[in-house]
Amino acid sequence: MTTEYDAYAPERETTEGTVYTVTGGDWDTFLDDEHDDRIVINMGPQHPSTHGVLRLVLELEGETVTQARSVIGYLHTGIEKNCEYRTWTQGVTFVTRMDYLAPLFNEAAYCLGVEKLLGVEVPRRAQVARVLLMEINRIGSHLVALATGGMELGALTGMTAGFREREEVLHLLEYLTGLRMNHAFIRPGGLAQDLPEDWAEKVTEFIKIMRKRLPDYDKLLTGQAIWRQRLEGVGYLPVDGCLALGATGPILRAAGLPWDMRKVEPYSGYEEYDFEVPTATEADCYARYRLRVAEIHESLKLIEQAAAKMEPGPVMVEDRKIAWPAQLSIGADGMGNSLEHVRKIMGQSMESLIHHFKLVTEGFSVPAGQVYLPVESPRGELGFHLVSDGGTRPVRVHVRDPSFVNLQTMPAMSEGGMVADVIAAVASIDPVMGGVDR
């Protein structure tokens, strides 16, 4: 054990203060009087509790966090910029990959924006199907929030149960859309294809399973003394703090404000549905947990209503200059178009074939203008600002992603608390870095 100067590991000055490289001896002997209790640590960007690649720089005095800041950008994909180099329809394939736990909300918000610029309304069946798919997706996203939150705080059974139920969600979405995630199923003008013939039976079976299993979460977590003590009073952020920082979704509703885009600014026919907006007033991690469980119950009610409202009819607008010439049809091997689909396109007139070719390669033109269209994603207000110059590609696609805005609340929730409570606070925010960095 030695504390003498080491040429290979000298101390160095940084913007955060002196950094010491410990090569032996007692820690106390390396700290000067000025910084005797101050330690700056990195949590992430590869820490299992930072929801992907989020880096937290924490300044500690003992175990108390005196300063916290988040560093983002490790998952930057350039999705917004990529959309400007693709047709309006191709943009769906990009935006679905942003908040990858809520892909159908990205698709719906983007397509609603494009449809507003086009001045078209999707057929009734497509509108109801969108609500059905989004609410199934909301349940899956909230289950991941519960599962990862449990895992990070040591409730590993909560994690295995949460992912078990989420698997039911992904199985159902794969059956309805063809893919577990990143569906690109909601398209400008409607849906890529109609739902399978026996979709109603599968949805009913899913509701039955979820209603049977949801009470287990109350037994496992809600009433569990350790879980409550770990979350109650932790990550406190009252309603004025939420409003000052722009927080929406469960964080804002857990502070007492029933702000939900499905109610305050309805879209896709949500005004026809009967559902509650759960709220709480404790404004802590426990309130956010209970709120998400309550929202899963409300989503099940919405799925039931959407299934009852579904009527036969088209799932894409009639306008042939926007709509795909023939509905997509997957081949027997699950890849590419089926032979019947190809024959239908090729067997029509030469003009029809040329139109199909131009629509797929060039895309349709969207009238010049700009629009902002928000929806209520599982994390809060997800808004798309789209700008068109009248061409077949957007001039600008900008996203107000709720994870990005909500992440601002992390220092307010964490500073002054214990370092262990930072984990609980970040878990209750439930940020998805794909949406933050996009």
175-218: pLDDT as tens digits:
998 888 998 899 998 998 889 888 999 999 999 999 999 998 88
Q: Report d(CA 111, CA 302) in Å as an integer.
A: 21
Looking at residues 368-385, what average pLDDT do you find? 93
Please state whether 78 falls in left (phi above 0), alpha (psi between -120 and 50) or beta: left
Among the ranges given (29-38, 41-50, 115-124, 361-370), the one the predictor scored with the smallest mean pLDDT: 29-38
Report pLDDT digits (tens) over 146-156.
Answer: 999 888 888 88
| One domain, residues 65 and 144 | no
Confidence (pLDDT) at 1: 44
Instruction: Return the minimum-mean-pLDDT range out of 29-33, 51-55, 108-112, 363-367.
Output: 29-33
Query: If pLDDT is split at 50, 70 and 90, which confidence band does 35 have?
Result: low
For residue 421, the surrounding DSSP H or E stretch is helix 419-429
Identify the weakest region by mean pLDDT among 60-74, 79-93, 335-349. 335-349
Hey, what are 252's tokens? 């804002």
Which one of 54, 71, 88 terminates a domain?
71
Counting the structural domains of the chain, the total is 2
410 vs 46, higher pLDDT: 410
Are 158 and 123 in a shared domain? yes
Same domain, 48 and 133: no
Measured CA to CA, the distance from residue 9 to residue 2 in angstroms comes to 13
Answer whether residue 357 is part of any domain: no
Distance of alpha carbon 397 from alpha carbon 317, whole angstroms: 23
Query: pTM higher than 0.85 for the full model?
Result: yes
Structure-block tokens of residue 411: 């220092």
Q: Are 362 and 87 in contact (CB under 8 A)?
A: yes
Checking if the pLDDT of 346 tops 60, the result is: yes
pLDDT confidence of 307, banded at 50, 70, 90? very high
φ, ψ for residue 376 (rounded to 5)?
-95, 100
Indicate if 83 and 63 belong to the same structural domain.
no
Residue 406 pLDDT greater than 80, yes or no: yes
Assess whether 18 and 144 both reside in one domain: no
Helix (H) or strand (E) holding 303: helix 285-309
Bond before 103 cis per omega within 30 degrees: no
Please count the other Cβ atoms lying within 10 Å of the Cβ belonging to residue 316.
23
- Measured distance CA(225)–CA(218) in Å, rounded: 12
- Return the structure tokens found at 419: 């370092």
**Any idea what the CATH number is for the domain that residue 405 is in?**
1.10.645.10
CA angle 126, 107, 377 (to 5 degrees): 100
**325 or 157: which carries more pLDDT confidence?**
157
Maximum Cα–Cα distance for the chain, whole Å? Answer: 87
Mean pLDDT of the region 127-133 = 94
Q: What are phi and psi of 415, to 5 degrees?
A: -65, 130
- Does 332 score more than 70 pLDDT? no
d(CA 224, CA 412): 27
Same domain, 403 and 269: yes
pLDDT tens string 62-86: 888 988 988 888 888 899 999 999 9
Structural domain of 52: 12-71
Complete DSSP assignment for 367-379: -SEEEEEEEEETT
